[in-house]
Chains A and B, each alone.
Chain A
Amino acid sequence: MIERKANPKSINPRELGLKVGLEIHQQLNTKHKLFCNCPTILAREGEVEDTFTRQLRPTRSEFGEVDVAALFEWRKGRMYYYHAPRSHSCLVEADEEPPHEINREAIVIGLAVAKALGSRPVDEIYVMRKIVIDGSNTTGFQRTAIIALGGAIKLPSGKKVGIETIAVEEDAARKMKDEGKYTHYNIDRLGVPLIEISTSPDIETPEEAYEAALTIGQLLRLTGRVKRGIGTIRQDLNVSIRGGVKTEIKGVQRLDLLPKIVLYEALRQHRLLQIRDELRRRGLTEDELRNAARIVDVTSVFKNTQSKIIKRVISRGGKVLAVKLRKFHGLLGVEVQPGRRFGTELADYARFWGGVGGLFHSDELPGYGITSEELREVYKLTGAIEGEDAVVIVADKELNARKALEAVVERAVQALYGVPKETRAAQDDGTTRYMRPQPGAARMYPETDVPPVEVTKDMLAEAERIKPMHPLEKIKQLTEKYGLSSDLANQLLRSPYLGLFEELAAKYSDKVPATYIASLLTNILRSLQREGVPTGNLTEEHFEGIINAVANNIISKDAVPDAIKYLAKNPGASIEDAVRDLGLERMSLDEVERLVEEAIEYNIKAVKERGIAALSKVMGYVMPKVRGRIDGKIVAEIAKRKIIEILEERRRGDK
């Protein structure tokens, strides 16, 4: 029998034959969107907007196929509620005007990146429609075009990771919330150009996945033509192990989470293979499983149930259905990832295909108000054998419950073959959940409204001019121009703040040392992050506000960490708010002098006896009182001067 707990430390991903491919999506900082003349910046809260609601219907391909996921969203009667800020969207985003010709600036930036990666541009660029029917595109498809193929990156370890394709595509609308049958989107982001870089599945460890993503991100930032800040870069993953299946994982926003997600997915596939082997050991066949999996109405069992959920469903006219999973006893409670059992995977299917809230399974029962008597009845009605078979129970409207259990059976059948082909969504704890089946090739067809673009010599020459600098060259430039140590320069290069640093250094380096700005954006930020400060909330405006306040002597450098903490916890606030609320105004020198005099007075004996060596005592008195409102260095200077003055006075007095 399999260990119930899934322990990530128990596996060696490389030995499991881990293969990872990355898809990096990065917003480009172009003047206009990819297919219209709207700006590429997002709307602020409360801007004038129009709203409209739409539905999307799946379209059919010649083979009569429809994207199942698409069909399903439509069947569910989902409606999309779009918010269209007037300054950030037009009829093109609203799908009320055909797309304009593709933005040449975006193509040139893409070609520049292609050159830096050693990719080979295509000769004519064709815009395709990739069906995406979750409402994030008003059209129901994403416009995307391959501009180059091949190439490679080199990781710091020297390992090469191949590049498969480089595409330029439109970003999707921003999801705001789900509300009943409506999903709300803001279409300000829709159409912002993205570059998509897809690597070959050459990555063999979680750490390599991290390094590869970092290397590509760094190269993109070095163009100086990409957007900066949270949400402007997103990673998707394709993960498989030997005997497993290439699984798509969407929506990895935090780079530091990437190795964990990869490790957990390797673990999940490994655990699913173990479940498969166990089922085979038990001698289960697909026919046996299917024939036994009859969906039974067990509502009568729960007439007087203590389960609140079931009671509520029955009182609303719903039904309780159950199904037997032959020879699955004990396997539904087996974890596939820390905190996620195989039963959780079944529940995901039930939710997606049946639209139900969840399910109960025998490996967690009795419990949740369901008694062992009720469970025994369900075993009896479904013809299941206790200690051998598992049962799954769903309480909902009959049709939904039935669809949910059918999906559960299908998922259970797939367990006999190992890892199903799925698209999964990354979660904040590093686990993933089932999102939808993987779409087939049928979801891609030509965008006939946009003419193809021939890649000309002019475009390639333009791309050559903005081709990103080699990282080593950039480090040299940073050390020479700003006097950064090569370590600090290297850290900057790996951080998302290189561009911001250069901007701030150019603006403020006459008043604030560039090395200070650099370490603020690297070391200081990192140590605050380790303390648990939500640094992800900080915007470029916040950083500029802080540097500006330091430059204008409004706050001292010592007050900066407190100011950052404040802004990270109150992202809507400004540096002025931080200064006011924390009392961070830089202390006047008069005030410092008074405090120092007070300190000397308090420690007069020590000062008289030990002279300048009493400085630490004086500082120890002053510093807690200034609370970062002035740099310690300045306090020390004043204190030193005052002590010397007193000593000299004494000497004169002695004479």
Chain B
Amino acid sequence: MSEDPLPGYTGVVRKVLSKAGVSVGDKVRIVTSDGRVFVGVLMPRYSIKPKPIIVLKLDNGYNVGIRIDEGTVVELVKTREAILREAAAGAPAVIPLLEEKPAKKPQERIMVVGTGGTIASKIEYETGAVKPALTAEDLVEAVPEIAMIARIEADVLMNILSENMKPKYWVKIVDAIARHIDEGYDGIIVAHGTDTMTYTASAIAFAFRGLPVPIAFVGSQRSSDRPSSDAAFNLIAATLYAAKSDYAEVAIVMHGETGDTYALANRAVKTRKMHTSRRDAFQPINDRPLMRIYPFEKRLEPLQPPLHRRGEQELRVENGFEEKVALVKYYPGMDGEIIDFLVDRGYKGIILEGTGLGHVGEWLVEPIRRAVDNGVVVVMTSQTLFGRINMNVYNTGRKLLAAGVIPGDDMLPEVAFVKLSWILAHTSSLDEAKRLMRTNLAGEINPRLTVDLYPRWLQ
């Protein structure tokens, strides 16, 4: 495969550069039409908008953009190959650092399943592009601490952006994890982009009907190409959870607060990304964290008991997810045709994200009744996220119940969506589907909501 020597360059710029016979990575000298002279390494241009501008990296490391026209003179000063050769030859001698004594080789075997995201990555110095670390060696090289906790192996299953995740990929991930557990790994880490992490982690939680080892989902809110990245911290915490805890549960392991003090392992099916950018974006809703993890001290502090302990259950997997399930958020004035459309398109399940205790505009009662009559499972969850559905308090709620809507208890809308997708792939009985929706399968329903389970902004 021949790579484009001039990525990102089009039009006049490309013409001028091609004529000069230069490619990205070469050192070039540019004389603009107005007589300005620039010398630097030609960089690729990563910009959505095409402009007649070329990007040079100057000797001092800075990039600058220079406008180009037909009159611009471009000369090759040194080829990329020559630059790299010189850099390798002239590498400065540095004072060698004494390595710390290697610890006793750890026993636990951990498999890191890669699905995407930049939990571990390398920066390409020349372009600034971030490339994912693809092997266990890369991972350990980037975060050497994890090798002191467990024997790390890696399986890069896919490399997709979190927002591009689909239920059919959940199936692949479930298969891979099942295989690795069967191979005898003591814990599984799934590296995943954070945007849809709750969905995937919940899918795994529902698919493993018997789970003998811990599974930690981990990601980063600051990409690993920067010194302040949370990736290493989270990965160490996830390794501790997977290797050292006896909680055979699917957990999301991420920062517990904005600082680098502790991480939290939160039950996947009760956890939600509650912030666009903070490190501690993942918070349990209607639930407490499973445990606090101190990565520097390599210490785990349980905060509530697990559903199952390590080794209690045999491995049992029921893989598969129904794709004809929709998650619909109610808004004032919402048109009933939206429900009708889903029914007519053959959808088998609808999760409604209603208001308050579980309401939608009363004009939707009829379309919903029609959906239920057509065999569609309709479940009510709440936009408030905190608290439980109760459709007995107000009239509209009672009408919706009468129409056949299933109250979703205190389940998160996203989790209810994944749960229904999984249920509908494994039963054709509507009654069974309804029963399972109201059954606590993986800790997604908390039967007791206590006073403390709610954030307050002023203490």
User: Given A54-B228, A55-B260 in contact, is the A124-B51 Cβ separation under 8 Å?
Assistant: yes
Q: Is the CB of A57 within 8 A of B94?
A: no
- Say whether chain A's binding surface is mostly helix, strand, loop, or mixed: mixed
Residues of chain B within 8 A of A96, CB atoms compared? 258, 277-279
A324 to B51, CA, bound (A): 63
A451 to B55, CA, bound (A): 13
What 1/0 mask marks residues of chain B from 226 to 262 whose CB sits below 8 Å from any chain A CB? 1111001100000000000000000000000111110
Within the complex, the shortest CB–CB distance from A202 to chain B, in Å, comes to: 17
User: Which of A68-76, A482-490, A558-566, A598-606 is near enough to bind chain B?
Assistant: A68-76
**Which residues 132-152 of A have a CB within 8 angstroms of B?**
133, 138-141, 144-146, 149
Q: Is the CB of B63 within 8 A of A53?
A: no
User: Which of B64-72, B336-344, B375-383, B429-437 is near enough to bind chain A?
Assistant: B64-72
What 1/0 mask marks residues of chain B from 49 to 93 whose CB sits below 8 Å from any chain A CB? 001010100111111111100000000000000000001100110
Q: Is the CB of B123 within 8 A of A53?
A: no
User: Which of A107-115, A253-261, A276-284, A403-411 is near enough to bind chain B?
Assistant: A403-411
Residues of chain B within 8 A of A95, CB atoms compared? 222, 228
Find the B residue at minimum CB distance from A452. Answer: B65
A55 to B227, CA, bound (A): 8
Find the A residue at minimum CB distance from B231. Answer: A57
Residues of chain B within 8 A of A445, CB atoms compared? 123, 125, 128, 225
Residues of chain A within 8 A of B122, CB atoms compared? 60, 62
Residues of chain B within 8 A of A531, CB atoms compared? none
User: Given A96-B258, A124-B51 in contact, is the A62-B65 Cβ separation under 8 Å?
Assistant: no
A442 to B123, CA, bound (A): 11
A384 to B457, CA, bound (A): 68
Find the A residue at minimum CB distance from B59. Answer: A441
Q: Is the CB of B126 within 8 A of A62?
A: yes
Residues of chain A within 8 A of B279, CB atoms compared? 96
Q: Is A122 an interface residue (CB 8 A)?
A: yes
Within the complex, the shortest CB–CB distance from B160 to chain A, in Å, comes to: 19
Q: Is A513 an interface residue (CB 8 A)?
A: no
**Which residues 430-455 of A have a CB within 8 angstroms of B?**
437, 440-446, 448, 451-452, 454
> Range of interface residues on chain A?
35 or more
What 1/0 mask marks residues of chain A from 176 to 218 whose CB sits below 8 Å from any chain B CB? 0000000000000000000000000000000000000000000
Q: Is B451 an interface residue (CB 8 A)?
A: no
Find the B residue at minimum CB distance from A94. Answer: B258
User: Given A123-B53, A146-B58 in contact, is the A141-B142 Cβ separation under 8 Å?
Assistant: no
Within the complex, the shortest CB–CB distance from A503 to chain B, in Å, comes to: 36
A95 to B258, CA, bound (A): 9
A239 to B316, CA, bound (A): 70
Q: How many A-B residue pairs have CB under 8 A?
A: 147
Q: Is A125 an interface residue (CB 8 A)?
A: yes
Within the complex, the shortest CB–CB distance from B296 to chain A, in Å, comes to: 8
Q: Is the CB of A139 within 8 A of B67?
A: no
A123 to B72, CA, bound (A): 14
Q: Is B98 an interface residue (CB 8 A)?
A: yes
Residues of chain B within 8 A of A344, CB atoms compared? none
Q: Is the CB of A165 within 8 A of B62?
A: yes
Find the B residue at minimum CB distance from A140. Answer: B227
Q: Is the CB of A444 within 8 A of B61?
A: yes
User: Given A122-B64, A146-B62 in contact, is the A62-B124 Cβ separation under 8 Å?
Assistant: yes
Residues of chain B within 8 A of A62, CB atoms compared? 122-126
What 1/0 mask marks residues of chain B from 375 to 397 whose CB sits below 8 Å from any chain A CB? 00000000000000000000000
Q: Is the CB of A139 within 8 A of B226?
A: yes
**Which residues 54-94 of A have a CB within 8 angstroms of B?**
54-63, 65, 68, 70-72, 75, 79, 91, 94
User: Given A444-B62, A448-B128 in contact, is the A98-B277 Cβ separation under 8 Å?
Assistant: yes
Q: Is the CB of A353 within 8 A of B95?
A: yes
Find the B residue at minimum CB distance from A82. Answer: B259
Q: Is B103 an interface residue (CB 8 A)?
A: no
Residues of chain A within 8 A of B46, CB atoms compared? 448
Residues of chain A within 8 A of B63, CB atoms compared? 126, 128, 446
Q: Is B102 an interface residue (CB 8 A)?
A: no
Q: Is B36 an interface residue (CB 8 A)?
A: yes
Within the complex, the shortest CB–CB distance from B86 to chain A, in Å, comes to: 12
Q: Is A644 an interface residue (CB 8 A)?
A: no
Q: Is B47 an interface residue (CB 8 A)?
A: yes
Residues of chain A within 8 A of B87, CB atoms compared? 63
8 Å CB contact of B277 from A55, A97, A141, A407: A97
Find the A residue at minimum CB distance from B124. Answer: A62
Find the A residue at minimum CB distance from B38. Answer: A149
8 Å CB contact of A139 from B53, B124, B125, B228: B228
Within the complex, the shortest CB–CB distance from B5 to chain A, in Å, comes to: 18
Q: Is the CB of B98 within 8 A of A406?
A: yes
Q: Is the CB of A55 within 8 A of B123?
A: no
Q: Is the CB of A406 within 8 A of B227?
A: no
**Which residues 447-499 of A have a CB within 8 angstroms of B?**
448, 451-452, 454
A123-B53, A149-B64 are known contacts; what are 4 more A-B pairs with Cβ within 8 Å? A91-B278, A97-B277, A165-B62, A406-B98
30 CB-based A-B contacts, threshold 8 Å: A52-B257, A52-B258, A54-B259, A56-B227, A60-B122, A63-B88, A63-B125, A65-B91, A72-B97, A75-B97, A96-B258, A96-B279, A97-B277, A124-B67, A125-B65, A130-B61, A140-B226, A141-B226, A146-B58, A149-B38, A167-B62, A403-B98, A406-B95, A406-B98, A407-B95, A441-B59, A442-B125, A444-B61, A445-B225, A451-B47
List chain A positions with a Cβ less than 8 A from chain B. 52-63, 65, 68, 70-72, 75, 79, 91, 94-98, 120, 122-126, 128-131, 133, 138-141, 144-146, 149, 165, 167, 353, 399, 402-403, 406-407, 410, 421, 437, 440-446, 448, 451-452, 454
List chain B positions with a Cβ less than 8 A from chain A. 36, 38, 46-47, 51, 53, 55, 58-67, 87-88, 91-92, 94-98, 122-128, 130, 142, 222, 224-229, 232-233, 257-261, 276-279, 296
